[in-house]
Structure 1
Amino acid sequence: MEQSGSAQLKRVLKPLHLWAIAVGLVISGEYFGWNYGWREAGTVGFLITTAVVTLMYVTFIFSYTELTTAIPHAGGAFAYAYRAMGPFGGLIAGYATLVEFLFATPGIAFALGSYLHFLYPDLSILGSALFFNVVFILINISGVKESAAFSVFITLLAVAELLLFMGIVAPSFKMENYLANSTPLNLGSMLAALPFAVWFYLAIEGVAQVAEEVEQPKRNIPKGYISAMLTLVLLAIGVMVLTGGVTDWRKLSNLDYPLPEAIAIVLGRGSGWTKIFASIGLFGLIASFHGTILASSRQVFAMSRSGYLPKPLSTINNRFKTPHWAIVAGGVVSAIALFTGTTSQIIILSVMGAVLMYMVSMASLFMLRKKEPQLERPFKSPMYPVFPAIALIISAICLLTIMYFNLIISIIFVAGLLLSLAIFVMMGKHKIKITHDDMLQASSTPKL
């Protein structure tokens, strides 16, 4: 591969690309993972939990868009937190974002393997997951415009398939099925289901990681974010409610492929539609898998370029203009996670990273409003300070709750953060002052 020391990304992405990347990043959350929330809280309890999380995401996205358009940087929350809080804030936001995207990738890979195993029982789930990992590393290296075009194509197919799914199962929906066997409404159960409601929308903020590759970012980023959020809310509620009413929902609450199983119950396992749906169901998972690799690689790239990760990870390929070593590094982490975790555990770890990042981002928004009142803000959070406050409070409740119900995973998450902070201090990185211009060029990695 040819390499270059210049870390300049191409501005080629339009609003349709951003919508596709945002929806594509998230849409696998409609295909699997959320159904584990039924196991915790039942259908009605999980519906209430999802409504609260939807409120968090709506207020968060409107607030986060202010940061993304004011500071269009590939580091996303890392860049915003650094500007608002300094080196330690940047490190915490960067660590949280890396955990979110790097572990969302193997979670989706597991589901891809499970869907293929549903279709072809002889195929290994782990082997298929690793295969997709390698293939999509190569696709992402090939170029961001090519990757974005692929995102548009695959995301449109995934959305069409979910609409088709709802059309097929809607006639079989029975409210008595949805309400039957439901866990009595219990605050503890609903809180335990929080990470699986977050999974419905997790990673939509990943659009920030391609902000430096967007044409006219201050105008186009809000269009991409808001249209994507509306699309995802409608799909999430429709899929969750209709699926819960076609059968005894408990049969679907512990599977990595709830939608093909629901189709099989409605039409029969031998139906051609069942096989077709499971086959094209791969599109939604592929869209998210592709998007999380794209977003995680840009986070690795941005943190490397700013001196927070090894400098070679910010190398740009001369031919494809993509950060190939950052993409490969993310793929290695994903492969390791595939050998060590299960889908539900990986989802919980990814969600912990996400909600911590949301908290830091909303805190950064408040601090920058006070610290830099003259900063150009092409898009301002509506109903400030109410919207960012709602997002911050619900995110904090989510994080504390997830840690309470998942002690071992929480210890791993906190230990990783403490280790990162220790290395950061020992290397003296906290003493380095990074200007905005420094963050935008690998050749100017700051020196003590």
Structure 2
Amino acid sequence: MTEKLKPTLGTLHLWGIAVGLVISGEYFGWSYGWGVAGTLGFLITTALVALMYTCFIFSFTELTAAIPQAGGPFAYSRRAFGDTGGLIAGFATLIEFVFAPPAIAMAIGSYLNVQYPGLDPKIAAVGAYIVFMGLNCLGVKLAATFELFVTILAVIELLVFMGVVAPDFSIANFSANGWAGSETFGLDAMTGIFAAIPFAIWFFLAIEGAAMAAEEAKNPKRTIPVAYITGILTLVALAIGVMVFAGGAGNWQELSGINDPLPQAMKMVVGNNSTWLHMLVWIGLFGLIASFHGIILGYSRQFFALSRAGYLPAGLSKLSGFKTPQRAIFTGGIIGIIAIFSDGVINLQGMSLTAAMITMAVFGAIVMYIMSMLSLFKLRQSEPEMERSYMAPGYPVVPAIALALSIVCLIAMVWFNPVIAAVFTVMMLLGYAYFRATKAQREEATPEVALASE
């Protein structure tokens, strides 16, 4: 019998998932971009990436509302380009959602280490996996309600952070040494702008994961567009605000390349023992938890969808008594924990574990964005009669902007990260090898599910 997920989520739940999946990007990760582009250079990078994501979400929502399947981009690309198209989008999305959580888990460990210096961040990271895999196993309604709660707290905390540091904000602090490798804009600055792309993408990475909850949404053709559009507007405003206010709080170079830039920025303003600082550390954890918890939900649904369609072993699509894909939840967790303990053992381009995992996740995301926009164009041509309760505004210009900027980002990513690009390519090739070897497995999948034709 085909395993099916139960629709229980409303618009507010979906908004919480969309924003919560991403909001950790406002708390850490992006400051690595200052190290390669400077504050002014990274501001340009962020503006370009924000434009890409805004155009992408306004276009991607058409696919999500028309094809509300747990596989998200996998379902859209398979419908547009057949089995191989589904493979490319599905495995790229899986890489994105499996490699983002270890980076977030390590940031959770770093935040806790600020409060408890004797606590090993890796142990805290593993503890986070155990707790939130367990919560995800207890049912999607409970998981989504918790996600909404911590997301709202995280948004409030970011607003509080900006309010506390605003009185000491200085444009001179933000712009000091603001171009990478140079005092003025030039070739080095331009190089830095492109090299910083993965860290600007981290501001918005995984918002598309709400599509993987579409099968569990009530009235997805109405709720998904509202959740996505309000979600991306929320995130763009928070990303720009947090980056600018943190950079103007003091010497921004002290914040570059660390996992807890917001507490450290606040220290510059209020000192080490302020009540505001302790509040930021504790409530700030909710931002990391929201993304961590939400991405576990996302990767489990991607494992589930790929397994249900015969692209992965059938056991990964088995549902528990709580109607959650527990095996898929634990499979992604095991991979993430292995990645955490590879820190210091495996070295990719001299990066920290956090920077390497961010970059790997971004490779998966960019490939998936390209496939999704190509699918949008293809389905407009091949299935013009498909029911579309929401249509991309400004078609074909808006999705074309998203596609063009995604391709630029991919080229820049490969140029500046050749080793990680090679590892990503090997992973995709291994997925293709498994795909070629398991044709019978796909043929046994239920046709209406496998073809995402609902």
Which of the five TM-score ranges fits, normalised by the shorter chain?
over 0.9
Q: Does 1:160 find its partner at 2:162?
A: no
CA separation of 1:437/1:307 partners in 2, compared to 1, >3 Å: closer, same or farther? Answer: same
- Does residue 1:340 correspond to 2:342, yes or no? yes
Whole-Å separation in 2 of the counterparts to 1:146 and 1:153? 11
- TM-aligned CA deviation for residue 168 of structure 1: 0.1
Q: How many Å separate the matches in 1 of 2:437 and 2:313? A: 15
Deviations 1:102-151 (A, max 9, x none): 11111100100010111111000100000000110000000000001101
From the superposition, tell whether residues 436 and 74 of structure 1 become closer, same or farther in structure 2 (CA, over 3 Å). Answer: farther
* Residue 370 (structure 2) aligns with: 359
Does structure 2 conserve the Cα–Cα contact (< 8 Å) formed by 1:424 and 1:430? no
Q: Does 1:426 align with 2:426?
A: no
Distance in structure 2 (CA, Å) of the matches to 1:133 and 1:431: 31
What is the percent sequence identity of the aligned residues?
A: 54
Query: 2:86 is aligned with what amino acid?
Result: G
Identify which of 140, 144, 148 aligns with 1:148. Answer: 144
Question: Contact (CA 8 Å) 2:99, 2:360: kept in 1 or not?
Answer: yes
Aligned counterpart in structure 2 of residue 246 of structure 1, from 224, 249, 254: 249
Tell me if the contact between 2:162 and 2:242 (Cα under 8 Å) persists in the aligned partners: yes
Aligned match of 2:402: 391
- SS of the residue corresponding to residue 86 of structure 1 reads helix
Give the match's secondary structure for 1:201. coil
- 1:423 offset after TM fit, Å? 2.1
Cα 1:57–1:429 shift into 2, 3 Å? farther
Unpaired stretches in structure 1, ≥5 consecutive residues: 442-448
Amino acid in the other structure paired with 1:298: R
Q: Give 1:254 deviation, angstroms.
A: 1.3
Alpha carbons of 1:233 and 1:429: their partners in 2 closer, same or farther (altered >3 Å)? farther
Q: Is the aligned partner of 1:304 residue 2:315?
A: no
Structure 1 position 438, deviation (Å)? 3.0
Alignment of 1:7-22 (within 5 A): 7-22=3-18
Cα distance in 1 between the residues matched to 2:144 and 2:442: 38
The partner residue of 2:233 within 230, 240, 252 is 230
Alignment correspondent of 2:70: 74
Cross-structure match for 2:347: none
Aligned 8 A contact 1:305 1:440 in 2: no
SS in 1 for 2:177: coil
Deviations 1:162-202 (A, max 9, x none): 00000000001001101111124322110000000000000
CA distance in 1, matches of 2:447, 2:31: 42
Could you tell me how far 1:6 is from its partner in structure 2?
4.6
TM-score normalised over the length of structure 2: 0.94
Residue in structure 1 matching 2:324, options 314, 317, 322: 322
The equivalent of 1:26 in structure 2 is 22
Structure 2: 5+ residue runs without aligned partners? 344-352
Corresponding residue number in structure 2 for 1:199:
202
Structure 2 counterpart of 1:204, one-letter code: I
CA deviation digits over 1:300-340, x for unaligned, max 9?
Answer: 0000000000101000112x111111111111111111112
2:111 counterpart of 1:115: yes
2:302 and 2:25 map into 1 onto residues whose CA distance is 21
The alignment partner of 1:8 has SS state of coil
Letter in 1 for 2:424: F
Give the match for residue 168 of structure 2.
Answer: 172
Determine the structure 2 residue equivalent to 1:407.
418
Is the 8 Å Cα contact of residues 7 and 440 (structure 1) preserved in structure 2? no
Match of 2:393 among 375, 382, 392: 382
Matched residue of 1:384: which SS?
A: coil
Q: Which moved more, 1:266-275 or 1:220-229?
A: 266-275
How far has the Cα of 1:429 moved from its partner? 5.9
Alignment match, 2:94:
98
Q: Is contact 2:96–2:362 with CA below 8 Å preserved after alignment?
A: yes
1:355-398 deviations in whole A, cap 9, x for unaligned?
10000000011111111111101100011111111111111111
* Partner Cα separation in structure 1 for residue 444 and residue 36 of structure 2: 46
In structure 1, C-alpha distance between the alignment counterparts of 2:441 and 2:366, rounded to whole Å: 24
8 Å CA contact 1:28–1:287 kept in 2: the answer is yes
State how many pairs are aligned.
436
